[in-house]
Amino acid sequence: MGRDRDPFERTIDALRQRLVAAGPLQGAPLLINLLAADLGVSQTPVREALAWLAGESLIGRTRSGYVGATHEAEDLAHSYELALLLVLAAFRRRPAGVAPAGANDANAVLAGVIDQGGNRAFSRAFARVQTELAPLAVDEAAVCGDAAEEGARLASALGEGGPSFVRAVRRHYQRRIERSADILAHGLLRRSRI
């Protein structure tokens, strides 16, 4: 077997998947030596990947090491509100009558609208918000409903035109804003180790 030429990429991909699957870690320590052994890499790519993820605010860094991000219901509500504002702003900028291709769930429909808005800053900000919300996606679906069904409703509203889509997007995010404490509580109940 040849030498692993990119352990950093493999490590960061694996850690991102684990962070999403683990749910809200609420400051749980992320032990470099255990992660390295579990991933079959040296501690160096784990340290590099954790530093990168801390730079993206997906985990925290303390004087004693790295910890899982701490989520608060109010911050979660603010992230949903930011996503709502970004989608509505991008919707106003996009070409009329164009539906996102291949959109099969709510996030795909919304990301398609963002991309069609043509503003790269909106796209980067929306991607960052989606990344921050990703560890709670399972909990969001459990509390607010299936992403595929919601995607179908949003895609249908998008096809009907502006006012219908704006109402659907507002309903989509308002439900999440109002239920952010429930989403977080659900995540804390199902939390697993990274």
181-190 confidence digits (pLDDT tens): 999 999 888 7
pTM of the full predicted structure?
A: 0.82
Interacting residues of 26 by C-beta distance below 8 A, sequence separation 6+: 68, 70, 71, 188, 191
Residue 134 is given by DSSP the state G
Q: Which percentage of the chain shows pLDDT scores above 70?
A: 91
Q: Percent helix, strand and coil across the chain, each rounded to 5?
A: 70, 5, 25
For the chain, give the mean pLDDT.
87
36/151 Cα distance (integer angstroms): 38
CB 171 within 8 A of CB 179: no
Residue 155 has a CB neighbour count (10 Å cut-off) of 21
Beta bridge partners of 30: 66
- Mean local confidence (pLDDT), 161-175: 92
2/15 Cα distance (integer angstroms): 23
What pLDDT does residue 1 have?
A: 45
- Mean local confidence (pLDDT), 13-23: 88
Look at residue 172 and tell me whether its pLDDT is greater than 90. Answer: yes
The two tokens of residue 123 are 């796209």
- Mean local confidence (pLDDT), 36-47: 94
CA dihedral 70, 71, 74, 79 (to 10 degrees): 120
Look at residue 4 and tell me whether its pLDDT is greater than 70. Answer: no
CB 173 within 8 A of CB 80: yes
pLDDT band at 151 (very low <50, low <70, confident <90, very high): confident
Query: Among residues 131, 1, 121, which one has the least CA distance to residue 53?
Result: 131
Q: Which percentage of the chain shows pLDDT scores above 90?
A: 51
Q: Residue ranges of the alpha helices (H) in the chain?
A: 7-22, 32-39, 43-55, 73-93, 106-116, 120-133, 137-144, 147-160, 162-178, 180-190
CB 139 within 8 A of CB 186: yes
181/140 Cα distance (integer angstroms): 10
SS3 66: strand
- Mean local confidence (pLDDT), 47-74: 91
